Amino acid sequence: MARLCLTLEYDGTDFAGFQIQPNGRSVQAVLEAAVFEVTREERRVFPAGRTDSGVHARGQVAHLDSTTRLAPAELARALNAVLPRDMAVLALREVAPDFDARRDALAKTYSYRILNRAEPSPLRARFSLHLRGALDTAAMGEAAKALLGTHDFSAFRGAPGGAPEDERPRRSLERLDVETRGDEVVLVAEGRSFLRHMVRNIAGTLIEVGQGRRRAADVAAVLASRDRARAGPTAAAHALCLESVRYR
């Protein structure tokens, strides 16, 4: 038995999230079906993090155990031959038997892309949020500084039916940048773990700052309030992407 580590890329548009769903197409189910088709083994795939419905990944990491005789490179090619067009295995390697994609992750990096121009882009519509009015990126960057470090992020937590009672709301945000890349404004967030919808709720709040609907200085008070109602709306899922997962 070998433990294998996979790096995955997927377009989340037509997925109901990573985790297996009773009534929806999931990344996990599609990947496990491909593993079975290639190896004839029923194996559970464990991700570094569970992306929500509609969220993309450029560098998701997952692990699974297998007794296949295929070399890692051969297995990767075989999986890509049977996976649908909206998912691919970018890398596959054998790792230590105790490697855990989620527990061993030091940090995850997410990007939130905003197309900030008058005209929409059909080619980028699946991967960016289109906002016509010019955003004040300087104010957004100033507001973002208040969220860096370790805090109770209850004000930016969201989950259907409320957050799980055993979920601790303290998280550490190592990076929160507001970058201008041509006609796009890109929010880059990095931390070891995130609360459900946390990045999208932060994005929704910073967008309001960029639109002049709230002051940059108010974001610190929103964080301190621990009140979800004080923060901005949950930004659309399709503009969020898990860029990478960092390990030792």
Q: Which residue has the tokens 């996976």?
A: 83
Handedness of CA 224, 225, 228, 233 (dihedral sign): negative
d(CA 161, CA 12): 23
β-strand partners of 181: 184
55 vs 49: CA distance, rounded Å: 12
- State how far the Cα of 177 lies from the Cα of 64, in Å rounded to an integer: 33
Q: How many CA atoms lie within 13 A of 80 on its CB side?
A: 16
40 contacts: CB under 8 Å, gap ≥ 6: none
Residues marked as catalytic: 52
Q: Which residue has the tokens 């985790």?
A: 19
